[in-house]
A and B are shown apart, each in its own frame.
Chain A
Amino acid sequence: MSGHAAPKKKVSDMKRLWGMSIDLDKCTGCGACQVACSQENNMPIFDDDSDLPKRVVFLDLMKVTNENDKDAKFGEVKVAYLPKMCMQCAGNDPENPHPPCVSVCPVVATDVGDDGVVSQIWSRCIGCRYCQASCPYEARVFHWWKPRYEGSFQEGLNPDVSVSSRGAVVKCTFCSHIWKRERDRMIAKGITDINAVQYTPACVSSCPTGAMKFGDLKDPQSPVYEEKLRRDPRAVRLVHSIDALRDTNPAEYERRMKIKDFPNPKVWYLTSNEWLREKLSGFKKS
């Protein structure tokens, strides 16, 4: 039967679209973001967290080098550190977001909100791990073991983040519970406009050199205004080679956008190093 109206789009007052930028020229690889994230999000504590298959973290501090390139020579080899968390993908159309993980979740344990944050509800997860397989960034972790918090480490747990059970997938949510906390505070002050509330995730507020910035991608005043980032020659998104075609070959860009759904992440990396941009984007100019 023809004449079906397209499903009516949900109307939302929400104007914000949270995003992050990480200036790798300023990142010393100190690890403060990783510790702050673990503390804020109740990461489990096992006897031996150097046991990699058992490890659960939302934020991975990766060491990147160009030493495996064919022409890399000792002395010219470069190293960079890369804090990697959930990239909060939107898919090709940010107005109608469908991140790879959300599309495959059979139980709506993961969903995308009107603020662009990809949520994950541990207790709803049945542990099928489809989302983990579909994630282009390996940002999701599975609890193979029951999370443990030995003895008095329990005292440091944050009540805003629920403790996961065994057999669930967990991931970074841009510390959306902090946003909730800030909203509640504003409401207590009598301010009910959701767009008046700002917040900062734990990793960003702990960064000693200010390399990590967080804000509204749609706000021209924000440090992560998307239009500005798109034009920034230092900006790059992780494994997102399609970005390079946007300006150089718009026709090809359009063609590819039609045939494939790209992750379109909301985390931008900034670096003045050409080699690192190539490595991160997965796109080599030469």
Chain B
Amino acid sequence: MEKLERREIIMMAGGAVAGAAVGTLFSGAPFLGLQWLVEWTQDQYVPAPGEEKYLQGRCLLCPSACALSVRMIGSRAVKVETANTGCYKPQLAIQMLYHPERIKNPLKRVGKKGSGKFAPVSWEEAIKDIAAKIDGLRAGGKAARIAAINGSAAYASGEILKRLVRASGSPNVYSEPCVNTLSAAATRLTQGQSGSIYYDFENTDYILSFGARLVEGWGDPGRMNRALVGWKERKARYVQIDTACTRSASMADKWVPVNAGTETVLALGIANRLISMGRLSGGANFAQWSQIVINDYTPERVAQITGVGVDAIKEIAREFATARNPIAVAGKGASAVSSSTVEFAAVQALNSMVGSLGRRGGVMLVDYPGLGEVAVNAAGAKGLDDFIKNGAADLLFINEANPVHRSVYGRALAEKLKKDTMVVALMPLLNDSAAYADYVLPTISPIEGEPVEPRFRAMHPADALLAIAKAVKGLENAFPWTGNKDIIPLIGRQNVKAAGNFTFPVELFRTYLAEISKKIGDKNYPLSLVPIEAPMVGDGDGLALPYVLKGLDAVTLTGSKLWVMINPETAKQEGVSEGSRIDIESARGEIGSVKVHITKTVAPGAVAIPIGFGHEFYTRYAEDKGVNAKEIMSDDIDPISGAADWWFTRVKIS
């Protein structure tokens, strides 16, 4: 071996040091280190200080208009104090107010429809153009081609829009289905009156809910939470019939697990028991109806279909019949409600049989006179889904609504909107439906206008629609109001009517058992898909807000993957394990992939899927989070309400 000189060793060591220095320099480590040093040593963002004050106002989210107080720092709103009105929604208002994707100006479409490319325009230009379109359609005898879709929470603006479209000569005003609109359709049939079903939750002592998730955003959430506290205080008994142990079922005194989609059958099974206990109704056609119930809905048969035992059915019937003020509640769902007229009729029949109809502590009817009716000489579709499927429009208003995402006919609607229809959308954030709009008009969030100054050039939707209405030729006298402040007090009025009459719609029940048995017996699709709602997400609106995403647990949404819940028995049958990725297929199509959470809180044979996810276009926070279950949900349109009964869908998984 050659001997190394001292000199050579020094040179080699020097080379190694130089090489290491050059290597480190080019690795990027020094720069990253410097960046970290800067980040760790420099001060973080400090929120701007300012004078603290509290502004008093009213929440614009629902007709209850609860008082709230907003903590201001200078001109910034930092917190909403609600003084325990019972509602959780105002807590979201600050995030909506300062959402970075709020629409700043009225927008006009520049790209292809559905591309979501818009350019700002002035309010004047937008209003002039929209009013001109209405003028043109009216002058051309095509007034009936004007249509409007109101969100279920658009109350003041919804009334203005309804009046605008009807006064223009079109019957085509629709509302996204909610418990009020669905029950109103049923009531016209069974009680021959206008009005929605009004449950006297404040005075009842026994609540039998057929899948209506009463404390998860159902109806007026503030009222329902206050009612719940009242039930606990006065020991009213709350029984929840549900396919999964939902939040409402967990709050109930008793959870009655039922096979998916069989709530109506269970109601008729209970009716059968009530008849044999001698609890009869004085309603019209009761004799014929009771024959069907006695023959077809014996407790044994009902137990077999619903999965609720004979003894349990008898027990519920006994409790229901012996309570002082029992009410049976229909309208499955929470923020999103799906039901059928036959279901409302079956559940109202129970109320009729125990004498709860038209009574304090029981079930009455409620009317919202609003701004009054405008007569139109043409007939429109029966309901929103019926309109989307069969109707057509040249001008469509979408007001605080998102039918493209929420309706099971969303895809069909999107296709229609891509054609010649001029679409005007009113909303604070661009959503899946606004992507197809020609004009998007920015509206305010719930605490803006009053008490917080509106941001950008956003308007109260009622004011924006009033401005359009006043620009239409010949409608000047139909709108004597100056702004939303005149309208909101008119909208808040409600007339509760004690209507005790009831006509049993016998025809609806003759074929019902055969239809539902056929659906349940579908061998191609062995499982049932049922919807659930995640806290604060509701029917999808909440998903744009980051603090809502923060509240979702590890088996609802993780890293943009949605989870579904199935029973261990079903998992074994289907050969899936915790965390498996599956696709779900119905006769309408396929969605996927979703992850599986195996839990005994869901009935065997059911797949419980959170709704409100899978937005294609709704801020960076909501987009591409999970899948939209409505795409494959059942699309049978109820012939009376004209709304799709999407609750229960037969599916298979792979």
Contacts and interface: CB of A to CB of B under 8 A. Distances in A.
Given A40-B79, A152-B102, A159-B48, A72 B550 contact: no
B46 A34 contact: no
Interface string A46-83: 11111110010100011101010000111101111100
Contact of A29 (B40, B247, B569, B602): B247
Contacts of A48: 549, 559-560, 621, 625
A52 B549 contact: no
Given A77-B600, A209-B225, A210-B229, A28 B100 contact: no
Interface string B77-101: 1111111111110011011011110
B247 A32 contact: no
Contacts of A208: 82, 84-88, 221-222, 225
Contacts, number: 201
Contacts of B567: 74
A232 B50 CA distance: 45
Given A153-B98, A157-B78, A165-B39, A30 B550 contact: no
B512 interface: no
A38 B548 CA distance: 10
A80 B250 CA distance: 6
A31 B517 CA distance: 39
Nearest to B613: A50
B35 to A, nearest CB: 11
Interface string B239-266: 0000001011111000101000000000
Nearest to A69: B600
Contacts of A65: 245, 599-601
Interface in A10-62: 25-26, 28-32, 34-36, 38-40, 42-43, 45-52, 55, 57, 61-62
B159 interface: no
Name the residue among A26, A49, A65 with the largest chain B CB count within 10 angstroms.
A49
B546 A63 contact: no
Contact of B553 (A25, A63, A156, A209): A63
A150 B47 contact: no
Contact of B550 (A32, A34, A40, A47): A34
Contact of A79 (B215, B250, B535): B250
Nearest to A123: B44
Contacts of A264: none
A163 B45 CA distance: 7
Given A77-B600, A208-B225, A29 B250 contact: yes
Contact of B88 (A31, A78, A151, A152): A31
Chain B interface size band reads 35 or more
B404 interface: no
A35 B44 contact: no
Contacts of B604: 74
A155 B552 CA distance: 24
Interface in A137-181: 146-147, 149-159, 162-167
B536 interface: yes
B557 interface: yes
Contact of A42 (B47, B100, B551, B625): B47
B580 interface: no
B232 interface: yes
A167 B102 CA distance: 32
A109 to B, nearest CB: 15
B52 to A, nearest CB: 8
Contact of B536 (A35, A43, A50, A150): A35
A207 interface: yes
B392 interface: no
Contacts of A146: 39
B33 interface: no
Contacts of A43: 547, 550
Nearest to B604: A74
A31 B547 CA distance: 10
B73 interface: yes
A274 to B, nearest CB: 15
Interface in A185-235: 202, 205-210
B257 to A, nearest CB: 5
A39 B71 CA distance: 12
Interface string B530-564: 00000110000000001111111110011110000
Contacts of B247: 28-30, 79, 81
B67 to A, nearest CB: 14
B88 A50 contact: no
Interface string B583-627: 000000000000000011111100000000000000011000100
B470 interface: no
A163 B88 contact: no
Contacts of B46: 159, 162-163
B102 A32 contact: no
B76 A156 contact: yes
Contact of B245 (A57, A77, A147, A158): A77
B216 interface: yes
Nearest to B84: A210
B278 interface: no
A55 B625 CA distance: 16
Contact of A25 (B81, B215, B232, B620): B232
A156 B620 CA distance: 19
B573 to A, nearest CB: 14
A26 B84 contact: no
B225 A39 contact: no
Interface of A: 25-26, 28-32, 34-36, 38-40, 42-43, 45-52, 55, 57, 61-63, 65, 67, 72-75, 77-81, 146-147, 149-159, 162-167, 202, 205-210
12 contacts: A30-B535, A32-B91, A79-B247, A79-B249, A80-B250, A154-B98, A156-B97, A158-B47, A159-B50, A205-B82, A208-B84, A208-B86
Given A32-B88, A209-B86, 15 more contacts: A26-B229, A34-B547, A35-B88, A39-B80, A43-B550, A48-B625, A61-B551, A74-B604, A78-B250, A81-B247, A151-B100, A156-B95, A162-B46, A205-B82, A209-B229
For the complex of A and B, the 4 pairs showing the least CB-CB separation, nearest first, are: A151-B100, A32-B88, A157-B47, A31-B535
